[in-house]
Chains A and B, each alone.
Chain A
Amino acid sequence: MSEPGRIVTGCLAPHPPHLVYAANPEQNEPRSSGAGAWAPLLEGYARLRESIKDKEYDVILVHTPHWKTCVGHHLLGVPHFEGLSVDPIFPNLFRFHFDLQVDVELAQAIHDEAEKEGLVMNMMRNPEFRVDYGTITSNYLVRPAFDLPIVAISSARTYFDYSDEAGEREMLALGAATKRAVEKTGRKALLLASCSLSHRHFTDEPADPEDPSFEHIYNENQSKWDHHVMNLMQTGQTRRLLEEMPDFIAQANAECRDGSLTWLLGAMDVPNMEAKIHGYGTVIGTGNAIVEWDLAAAEVQA
């Protein structure tokens, strides 16, 4: 009998397209100046890549705020996508030629497990569907080679259509369903919650978008919340983080309202382990943390 699957590592892996722009990969059409505005985040992603480089995983799962769905939760259900992804918000920075594989079997398994939880689930089977830039960005920053299949899960609008509390319950259920599907299919999975922390943007941009003198957190309130949340992560207080999540969302305009972080915590059984903060920085005023919950290492220690 094959070995049951497991989640190897869970990461908070925000998706500012600015970071892809700054990295100047050949797949991205625009070229950056290299002025360095987002260096702390690029360095954080480098540390995350170093931390996971020797881990064994065979699929990357990403929950993305930039595939927004009103009719339940959707999963990519086509084995291969390639094309051009132009960010509708920052088209000057992100015009990325992507080519990626999808683990449709695992996606279907998550779909089926989540339906058992009573969630509305949908498989996306249209081969012309444009994969959102959040999925592409987080995957690129974590594993630029795109040499492993992915699973991409949309962000249902439950928080917006009903309430933050209803959204939280649903994302914990989706996380639990994701965990079961990973275990049943025997996958070794890396999970990415593709979201920022505080999420208030500046509505203008300097002539050089990478100008470091322009970049700072939108205001002190956002910064304090971000640091408080990172402290909870670092000290293993994920239960408390979930308890405070609706306040965080409301008071810091947190992108966690798109459900990604709570899905991740739910999939990891809300671990009380200390998370590793690889980096924190701002992009056009938003607060972004790169965080790792190294479940594999915790298992070895136990």
Chain B
Amino acid sequence: MSDGRVLGAYLVPNQPLPCMAPEQSPAWQSLHDSYAKVRAEIEASEADLILIFSTRWVSIIGHQMQADPEPDFWVVDEDFHQFGSLHYKLRIDADFAATYRDCAKARGLEARTVAYQGFPIDVGSISALKMLNPDNRIAAGIVSCNVYSDRAETLVLGKAAADAIKQSGRKVILLGVSALSNRMFTEWIDPQQDRIHSLKDDEWNRKLLELLGEGRLEDVSQLSREFSRQANGDSKMKAIWWMASAMGQTNDYRGTVFDYQPVWGTGAALVGLTPAKNLGGGLEYDEDDTDFFRGDRNVLSTAKQKEVKP
């Protein structure tokens, strides 16, 4: 029987600056240094796959899984091009990508693998892998963030990841590449003076980190809509929904907040979650749970097709 399982999960920033130019800001340097602690944990684990959900890879046609076994290209950030280019050569687990695609389809999702020379792998994934897996010792997988998907669809995508992990026998570290609050400064700042965009964003971030530090991932997942409304959460906090779902929707984790800093106004945190028994306490579920995706509900289109009789 397959012993595939999730060994742990990490939430990591969506911005490349701590990777590209740490020396320019004490906050970015702090994150850069804290990445080393996370890297050490991952290296000490038995992981044979790092599976990434990145809010910086946006898709429209369902969910895309990177399947080029050795992508070799570069990326230049749309905003921060003056900080240079990130050249990369990755090791991708193409077999797992195919398994994940098939498991996603089995749960009703539109999904496909992509493997094209020159495909622009997103700057969030590249930064995370450069900081946490610089020598490609562990194979990686990357899944996109569908722009239209909401909580239900993202939960199903997370459950499909769990199916694929079990089926493939991989021992997996999950990475959610996502900011917390995602308000950026819209003008040039002195990186030395970088700070969270507003006190309110900072307060919400700290509340979320308090829960994550207690390992209460499912509570954070349940809170994500409110957080996003209040603090402009990154992509509705889909990365949290995906991680929580892929890990079984519990609060039973040992949580570690490695760091929390601003990156150009956004809330950038390094958080680790390791499965642990009986730490979570009671759960209060307000949100619905979904196992199978039944497609977009195009209400107006449906109404047009059916004759409505008084």
Contact = CB atoms under 8 A, between A and B. Distances in A.
A203 B60 CA distance: 6
Nearest to A71: B79
A72 B62 contact: no
A203 B61 CA distance: 4
Contact of B61 (A70, A86, A90, A158): A90
Given A90-B61, A128-B85, A70 B184 contact: yes
Contacts of A51: none
A90 to B, nearest CB: 7
Interface residues of B, number: 38
Contact of A130 (B114, B120, B186, B298): B120
Contacts of B84: 126
Given A71-B188, A88-B120, A128 B76 contact: yes
B185 interface: yes
A67 B78 CA distance: 7
Interface string B58-84: 111110000000000011101101101
**Chain A residues touching B, majority SS:** loop
Given A220-B300, A221-B300, A161 B81 contact: no
A86 B119 contact: yes
A84 B184 CA distance: 30
B2 interface: no
Interface string A68-107: 1111101000000001111011111001000000000000
Given A86-B120, A120-B187, A161-B186, A203 B114 contact: no
A220 B186 contact: no
Contacts of A70: 79, 184, 186, 264
A125 B62 contact: no
Given A71-B186, A86-B120, A88-B58, A203 B78 contact: no
A205 interface: yes
Given A71-B188, A124-B81, A218 B110 contact: no
Interface in B273-310: 295-296, 298, 300-301, 304
B62 A204 contact: yes
19 contacts: A71-B185, A71-B188, A74-B78, A84-B117, A89-B58, A91-B116, A120-B186, A120-B187, A125-B81, A126-B81, A128-B74, A129-B76, A130-B120, A161-B186, A201-B60, A203-B146, A204-B110, A220-B301, A221-B300
Given A72-B187, A95-B116, A204-B62, 11 more contacts: A69-B78, A70-B264, A71-B185, A72-B186, A83-B118, A89-B60, A89-B61, A124-B81, A126-B82, A128-B85, A202-B296
